Structure 1
Amino acid sequence: IRFKVFSEDMNNASRYCTAAGESRPNMEGGTRVCRRKDVLTAEKKSMILNQVLPRAIKLHMDRLHIQPFTGPVVLPNFSAGTLCGEFEIPSSHHTTGVSGADMVLYVAAAPTRYYTHAWAVACFALPDGRPVAGVINFGPHAVTDSEFSVRIAAHGIAHALGFEYFYFFLRNMTQTIPEVRGKKNVVVVSSPKTLEKTRAHFNCTSAPGMELEDEGQGTTASSHWKRRNAKDELMAGGAGAGYYTALTLAVFEDMGFYRAQWDMAEQMPWGSNSGCELLTEKCLTNGVTQYPEMFCHAASKVLLCTSDRFAVGDCDIVSHLKPLPVHFQYFADPRRGGFLDDKMDYCPLIGESQATGCIDGRADIMPGSRIGPSSRCLKGVGLRDSIGLTGDVCAEVSCDNDTVSVRYLGDETWHACPEGSTITPTGPVFVSGKIVCPRRIEVCLCPLETQCWR
């Protein structure tokens, strides 16, 4: 699949933040007052156009094949008030068009809400329904030169390629299933390949399809996988590991426009081989879960790894003001449950605390952690620094061929860390304890490292 990228909005200083206090278009029909972190510096601009976007595009190019579009892509004039109409499109694209592309992408870096890393939509489709143009806006405050940002960009591009409820509905790919986990109904993608890959991932031969999100707003919600079931998948709602699994590849193939490169599918630990109960039953019953790697039941005294290993955090659990709906009650206390904002049907999970990301967190609140673009969270057993127990910690991770190596805080040496073994850290930081070597698929996203890792 051939991409062509245009970034007119990143070359016009009235379309992005150059200083705090300015007012700039937000590309959603309104304006935002710029904060210092919203400023598109030369470094951030280069990061988006030369690092993050090319790597995100490559994730799709390596996995999706398409019948090349022979003619130029000639775009209509998008009406004011639409998202696509907010972006600056060269006038020639409306007349002579863009040649040699299967997807034309228009990129901006306007300020976004603090919790929005980036967003994207499809803008224009061929008569057969295949999307050929889209827009993506990066919030400069959230962009880092990291795999985390690459996956967020790849998620957005997938929406532009047609991963949207509108297309699922048009192509008759969905079904409404009644009485699921006490809900009146849920919507699933039940087209053939998606059905097959859903059943394989969860090891559940009776799954009716892959469930779509029902929390959040409107079709934005239903254009993502149900986060409770697929939290770390590329097309789950919310930022995370972004594993490009067979589930998302299957949707693209079922659309009829793309052919998937199946050997490039990534393996997501979340929900893998869980059995049907994960999809049909409560995540916890009386405070006990069958899936301790996924869900938690109480706050911890130390920091713990999030499932995507991009952060340390604690169990997102709270006592709500009112009893939760019966089908979301997982504890003896009917008010106890996870956070609404986690979009997990109130299932509690280890969530990133404020500024505890392995890539860009605050060292002063992350004892024992080494922070940087290639850092991931590793489990600690009895790890102590001079002050006390540290819990789990972030360390730099390097993935080569078959080996995983780690570099922890206080030691500049890379240590081989084969799955199933432990490392006993030495140096000035740790006084006792061990670091548990991770499963390779939990820290090295790609099946073939050279395909998508730095």
Structure 2
Amino acid sequence: MLRDKDGKPLTERGEDGKPPVNQELQVRQWSDRIIKTVTRDWKVRGGTRERTVNVVVTPAVKREVQAHFNCETLEGAELEDQGGDGTAFTHWEKRIFQNEAMTGTVHTDNPIYSRLSLALMEDSGWYIPDYSLASSLSWGAGAGCDFPTKSCKELMALAEEKDSSSPFCNTMMQNAEKTYCTDDDLSVGSCNLVKYSSKIPRIYQNFDSIEGVEDADLEYIGSSVILADYCPYVQEFSWLGGGGVGGGEDPRGTRCDSAENAPDQDSNYALETYGTESRCFAQTSPWEQKSCTMIKQWTSLTGASGTTNSVNLLL
């Protein structure tokens, strides 16, 4: 269905006027003017493996994905390779484009339509999109060529070497006992790293070690969002006990810009404020709650919501 600027199909047609059928996938075969196959070295637990991905290489998509990551050598925008029919080859890769609305999972905080999806509409030959209406995608923005081409295991290792931040995390979810900030700083969240009942595919095993996890269990550990190539990242969640740690009955969310998510006063251990101007801030040390008779440390609260004039800016 995709056409060039002259209205000609990008995929060659057969005698019946339709593209040939890919017998393996049982779909119409696309042209390499639309999707190309790329092979990369992929560092995972146990060494380096060969990883084959499919990328959209149409002009506007290529322009936008290179601009987003600030990578002029990027071949195109990677497509999802998991999820079966209706997901693989038909959505953007979750690991790379996290909360873009055209990734293939409902496990998405704050889904947005970015310039990338509008670019695909432009490349279809059927639309002239208004890019001023696109939402900003913060995930991976300006991160360079490594971000869309390397495994999250390698990206986490590189961030540790450079003593820099990474959008990926390495602590077990465990009922959100430890909090962080989501990548866009719009929410307090928890690392979505969980243990599966069966081994995850070796190409998606991202850890040589995890604090508190036995080596024998590492083959079972990955993100709860499978389509993200099992790469764990911080997600917003709901406090089941309303007031957060130790209080309240009604559940509350963790989005910082929602005043309704403010904890009960008696349970506001991190001195948080929630509202339209609030964002999540990382804390350098545990909070201490002092009274005349005792001192309590809240080691689980390493990310908290606040405003620029709030007392909880311990950066």
Which residue type is aligned with residue 274 of structure 2? A
Structure 2 counterparts to residues 132-151 of structure 1, below 5 A = none
Question: Alignment partner for residue 190 of structure 1, among 57, 62, 71?
Answer: 57
Structure 2 counterparts to residues 8-157 of structure 1, below 5 A = none
Cα distance in 1 for residues equivalent to 2:140 and 2:279: 29
Instruction: Name the SS of the counterpart of 2:54 in structure 1.
Output: strand
1:56 aligns to what?
Answer: none
Shift of the 343–394 alpha-carbon distance from structure 1 to 2, 3 Å rule, reads farther
CA contact (8 A) 1:298 1:317 kept: yes
1:297 aligns to what?
Answer: 170
Cα distance in 1 for residues equivalent to 2:182 and 2:279: 19
Which residue type is aligned with residue 192 of structure 1? P
Cα distance in 1 for residues equivalent to 2:120 and 2:169: 31
Question: Alignment partner for residue 242 of structure 1, among 83, 102, 111?
Answer: 111
Q: How many correspondences in the alignment?
A: 238
Which residue type is aligned with residue 423 of structure 1? N
Cα distance in 2 for residues equivalent to 1:367 and 1:289: 37
Instruction: Name the SS of the counterpart of 1:269 in structure 2.
Output: coil
CA contact (8 A) 1:368 1:394 kept: no
Question: Alignment partner for residue 343 of structure 1, among 216, 219, 227?
Answer: 227
The CA deviation string for residues 79-116 of structure 1, in whole angstroms up to 9 with x for no partner, is xxxxxxxxxxxxxxxxxxxxxxxxxxxxxxxxxxxxxx
Instruction: Name the SS of the counterpart of 1:195 in structure 2.
Output: helix
Instruction: Please list every run of 5 or more consecutive structure 2 residues that lacks an aligned counterpart in the other structure.
Output: 1-16, 19-26, 43-48, 210-217, 281-305
**Greater helix content:** 1
CA contact (8 A) 2:236 2:255 kept: no
Q: What RMSD over aligned residues (CA atoms) do the two structures have, in Å? A: 4.3
2:6 aligns to what?
Answer: none
The CA deviation string for residues 321-379 of structure 1, in whole angstroms up to 9 with x for no partner, is 666544433322442642253421121111344x34xxxx762446799958985389x
Cα distance in 1 for residues equivalent to 2:191 and 2:254: 24
Question: Alignment partner for residue 257 of structure 2, among 361, 376, 388?
Answer: 376
1:258 aligns to what?
Answer: 127
Which residue type is aligned with residue 79 of structure 2? L
Shift of the 183–236 alpha-carbon distance from structure 1 to 2, 3 Å rule, reads farther
CA contact (8 A) 1:338 1:348 kept: yes
Shift of 1:424: 2.1
Shift of the 396–171 alpha-carbon distance from structure 1 to 2, 3 Å rule, reads farther
Instruction: Please list every run of 5 or more consecutive structure 1 residues that lacks an aligned counterpart in the other structure.
Output: 1-127, 130-165, 398-404, 409-419, 426-432, 437-454
**TM-score normalised according to structure 1 size:** 0.43
Cα distance in 1 for residues equivalent to 2:230 and 2:255: 31
CA contact (8 A) 1:195 1:208 kept: yes
**TM-score normalised according to structure 2 size:** 0.60
**Greater strand content:** 1
Cα distance in 1 for residues equivalent to 2:151 and 2:279: 39
Shift of 1:224: 1.3
Shift of 1:222: 2.4
1:175 aligns to what?
Answer: 36
Shift of 1:273: 0.8
CA contact (8 A) 1:286 1:330 kept: no
1:279 aligns to what?
Answer: 148
Instruction: Name the SS of the counterpart of 2:151 in structure 1.
Output: coil
CA contact (8 A) 1:168 1:255 kept: no
Matched, 1:206 2:206: no
Cα distance in 2 for residues equivalent to 1:267 and 1:228: 17
Cα distance in 2 for residues equivalent to 1:197 and 1:367: 46
Cα distance in 1 for residues equivalent to 2:254 and 2:222: 29
Instruction: Name the SS of the counterpart of 1:279 in structure 2.
Output: helix
Question: Alignment partner for residue 182 of structure 2, among 300, 303, 306?
Answer: 306
Which residue type is aligned with residue 165 of structure 2? P
Shift of the 286–362 alpha-carbon distance from structure 1 to 2, 3 Å rule, reads same
Which residue type is aligned with residue 223 of structure 2? F
Cα distance in 2 for residues equivalent to 1:363 and 1:168: 52
Cα distance in 2 for residues equivalent to 1:434 and 1:327: 40
Shift of 1:271: 0.6
Which residue type is aligned with residue 201 of structure 1? H
Cα distance in 1 for residues equivalent to 2:70 and 2:156: 25
Matched, 1:219 2:91: no
Which residue type is aligned with residue 192 of structure 2? D
Instruction: Name the SS of the counterpart of 1:218 in structure 2.
Output: coil
Q: Percent identity?
A: 26
Shift of 1:237: 2.3
CA contact (8 A) 2:180 2:190 kept: yes
Cα distance in 1 for residues equivalent to 2:200 and 2:257: 34
Shift of 1:262: 2.2
CA contact (8 A) 1:371 1:396 kept: no
The CA deviation string for residues 247-266 of structure 1, in whole angstroms up to 9 with x for no partner, is 11100000000012123332
Shift of the 406–323 alpha-carbon distance from structure 1 to 2, 3 Å rule, reads closer
The CA deviation string for residues 212-263 of structure 1, in whole angstroms up to 9 with x for no partner, is 1112122323221101000011212233322221111100000000012123
